[in-house]
Amino acid sequence: MNALIRKELRFTAQPISYLFLAFSLMTLLPGYPILVGTFFLGLGLFQSFLAAREQNDLLYTVLLPIRKRDAVTARFVHAAVVELGAFLLCAALTAVRMTLLRGAAVYRANAMMNANLVYLGWVLLLDAALNVLLVGGFFRTGWKLGGPFLRFGAAALLLIAAAETLHHLPGLGFLNTPDEALGLQAAFLALCAAVYALATFLAHRTAQARFERLDL
């Protein structure tokens, strides 16, 4: 299993999967929907999966003396490693915005989502959608990627729209502040982390079951 994961991360993963981690730097942008950076992360994974498909990577993988379910696990680990790297970078930049830069006028006057604990929660929700709709969706057929990516794109658009709208509603302004209601913000982040873990677990198990039944 470890060798399969190393193969996935070193050879199946295209450089674009890791290069697109740079879009996490959008966390520092004022006046911009910063969650778009997480969508771009999904785009990088899509391009990596697409290149692997064109090289028949999955077909060659299942010809090895391995279980088909392990090939699914390796692909989910690939996605999770990239997501974790991006999340840690977003978290570090969020900490900078919430501390060193919290008094900056350009952020105080920002009408778009600010980087705070709530933002990190939304990042995890987008990652959950990515795992369910793109990574898990791919294993419905083991070949088609266009449909799963479009479904992820639609879900990402809805999540970003919700994130950019909610903090404008009466009584929800704390969702967009760097230093108010941190307890509620932390609770939202914890809830989103639980949703991410559960959604990824269920998507992984469902994808394993589907791929086991699939005749390649």
- What pLDDT digit, counting tens, does each position of 40-95 carry? 999 999 999 988 888 888 777 877 788 888 889 999 999 999 999 999 999 999 99
pLDDT top residue among 107 and 68: 68
Q: What is the pLDDT of residue 134?
A: 96
Do 121 and 191 contact (CB within 8 A), yes or no?
A: yes
The mean pLDDT value for 152-165 works out to 96
Percent of the chain residues topping a pLDDT of 70: 100
Q: Where are the domains of the chain?
A: 2-213
Q: What is the pLDDT of residue 216?
A: 65
Average pLDDT, the chain: 90
The mean pLDDT value for 5-17 works out to 79
* DSSP H helices in the chain: 2-7, 15-19, 36-54, 57-62, 68-98, 105-108, 117-129, 136-138, 146-166, 182-213
What is the Cα–Cα distance from 36 to 113, expressed in whole angstroms? Answer: 11
**HSE on the CB side for 157, CA within 13 Å?**
6
